[in-house]
Structure 1
Amino acid sequence: MIKTVTRPLLIAMSLVSIGVSANPAPVTEIGRSSRVPVTTTTATGTVEQRLAALERVVEARAEAQIRMQQQLQLLLDEVSELRGVTETHSYQLDEILQRQRDIYQEIERRVSSVQQQPAATNVVPDSTPSVSVSTNVSENDAYEKAVNMVLKDRRYDAAIPEFESFLRSYPNSVYAPNAHYWLGQLLFNNNDLAKAKTQFERVVSNFPDSNKVSAALLKLGQIAERENNKALALRYFNRVVAEHASSTSARLARERITALQ
């Protein structure tokens, strides 16, 4: 029995010995430094890559936020600009409507004047307080020439020296308040506010009974508004409402008062 077991055992040990001899274990050089450092370098490289990736993500988000802030600021600027444009258009529309009313009144006055001739009546009916008509032909011609440059020829810049010349030649003309107002309006349209203000002030101070006083006061308020003098603008607008409550200028003045308050 012992012999039977021992024989296979010896055979197995012989086979193991042969296998070991045929396939020896690889020899590892103690002096090589590639085992541990390779693993450490690989791990370190992975951390650096992750940090770099995180930095790129943070930078991308920061750039995106900056772009969003810039776009938001642009939108705010555009909204502010649109509001300014809207207010300007509303303001200009009021001015256009007022100029049209002035033109219609002037046309009506001139038609009435023609109808009254040659009766040489000194006062011509008007839709507003009466306007006198001169019997001086040269005076009439000079005034008509200046007005036609506005109404017919639309040579607004050329009309300015014509009205100035008329006022120098006929400072006491019955058309003087109208001429001052027309001149002020033309200067106002050219944004020459200082000179326009002078003309409107002359209408108010020198011709208190003229039908142009309410419109001149309104213009003085608008000039003050353009000059960012809100308090003065409100004083002029309130004066229009108080002294000329039923006029078209008073309605426009009320609108400006509401807008400024």
Structure 2
Amino acid sequence: MHPVRIALLIAALGTAQAQAGVFDDDEARRQITDLKIKTEARFDQQAKGQLDLAGQIQRQAEEIARLRGQLETLNYELETAKKRQQDFYLDLDTRLRKFEAPGSANAAVDPAAGGNPVKADPAREGQEYEAALNQFKAAKYKEAAVAFAGFVQKYPDSSLAPNAQYWLGNAWYAQRDCKRAIEAQTLVTTKYADSPKAPDAWLAIATCQQELGNPAGAKRSLETVLGKYPNTPAAESAQQRLKKK
């Protein structure tokens, strides 16, 4: 072959190889660019998902904080309402006692005297009852329970005995002992069923039954108030509580 043709052939082959190399580099760069775009898109999607998740967590945290605030407010209002009700009953008890006979015509039983009847002393009964009530007002519930229990044992037929028995139940409830509270209030509803404290005792029993996880029993107690003591403040309270169930 002529030397010139050989040289031209070699040059042509070199050009073709160079072009192939350029094409290979372009294809590699294109693939790298495509991979980079896809990777960035995937990272952007993941980042967006993380941001959305963080937003959801933040909103949930805010909702939990809001609900916690509402719960704290409701608990405060409930405790305040209980305190107002307790203060109301204490005040009412004091007012009503001024219109009641200060003592009973029956003789009291003094345990210290071996259970023998002793002459009724209305003034002394009033003092002992007031002392027990003051213990309750001072939030000394354990001492109040002892004092009220002693009073009803010593003066079972006193006109103040139903009140003392009722506040004995409240003293147990204030100590979070619903079982003893129900026992004490049940005595009010049986032995002193005709006393003004009986319907309130039924309400107290219903409260304890509800807290002990016995809503059916609480409902029956509230219905008993409506049936036995209609047209009383306790019946009105019972009706309102039944509407909420």
Which TM-score applies when normalising by structure 2?
0.72
- Cα deviation digits, residues 181-229 of structure 1 (max 9, x gap): 1122122233222221221112112211111111011111122222343
CA distance in 2, matches of 1:30, 1:91: 90
Does 1:57 find its partner at 2:47?
A: no
Counterparts of 2:63 and 2:214, CA distance in 1: 26
Structure with higher RCO (Cα < 8 A, 6+ apart): 2
1:70 equivalent in alignment to 2:62: no
One-letter amino acid matched to 2:92: Q
Q: Secondary structure at the match of 1:96?
A: helix
Distance (whole Å) between structure 1 residues aligned to residue 145 and residue 67 of structure 2 = 35
Which residue in the other structure is 2:83 paired with? Answer: 96
What displacement does 1:159 show?
Answer: 2.0
**Counterpart for residue 175 of structure 1:** 160
C-alpha separation in 2, matches of 1:38 and 1:55: 26
Asked if residue 224 in structure 1 is aligned to residue 214 in structure 2, the reply is no
* Structure-2 separation of matches of 1:91 and 1:256: 14
Q: Distance in 2 between matches of 1:227 and 1:83?
A: 24
Per the alignment, residue 212 of structure 1 pairs with: 197
Q: Is the 8 A contact 2:104 2:122 kept in 1?
A: no
Quick check: 2:104–2:158 contact (8 Å CA) kept in 1? no
User: Does the Cα contact within 8 Å between 1:142 and 1:166 map onto a contact in 2?
Assistant: yes
Secondary structure, counterpart of 1:191 in structure 2: coil
Give 1:143's aligned residue: 129
Q: How many angstroms apart in 2 are the aligned matches of 1:253 and 1:93?
A: 19
Which of residues 229, 251, 257 is equivalent to 2:236? 251
Alpha-carbon contact 2:104-2:159 (below 8 Å) kept: no
Aligned residues of 2:136 and 2:171 also touching (Cα < 8 A)? no
Aligned counterparts of 1:158 and 1:89: Cα–Cα separation in 2: 26
Preserved CA contact (<8 Å) 1:94 1:252: no
Unaligned residue ranges in structure 2 (runs of 5+): 1-13, 107-119
**Distance in 1 separating the partners of 2:156 and 2:75:** 35
User: Residue 88 of structure 2 aligns to which amino acid in structure 1?
Assistant: R
Alpha-carbon distance change, 138 to 247 in structure 1, aligned in 2, over 3 angstroms? same
Q: Aligned equivalents of 2:215 and 2:71: distance in 1?
A: 17
Q: Find the aligned partners of 1:197 and 1:78 in 2 and give their Cα distance.
A: 37
CA contact 2:104–2:157 (8 Å) conserved in 1? no
Aligned equivalents of 1:89, 1:64: Cα separation in 2: 37
CA-based RMSD of the aligned residues comes to 3.4
Q: Percent identity?
A: 21
Shifted more, 156-165 versus 69-78: the winner is 69-78
Aligned-pair distance for 1:250?
1.4
Equivalent-residue separation in structure 2 for 1:173 and 1:192 (angstroms): 26
Identify if the C-alpha distance between structure 1 residues 31 and 39 changes in structure 2 by more than 3 Å, giving closer, same or farther.
closer
Change (3 A) 1:194 1:85: farther
Letter in 2 for 1:148: N
- How many residues were matched structurally? 220
Amino acid at match of 2:38: L
Normalising by the residue count of structure 1, what TM-score does the alignment of the two structures yield?
0.68
Deviation >6 Å, runs of 4+: none
Report the residue type matching 1:53 in the other structure: E
1:106 corresponds in structure 2 to 93
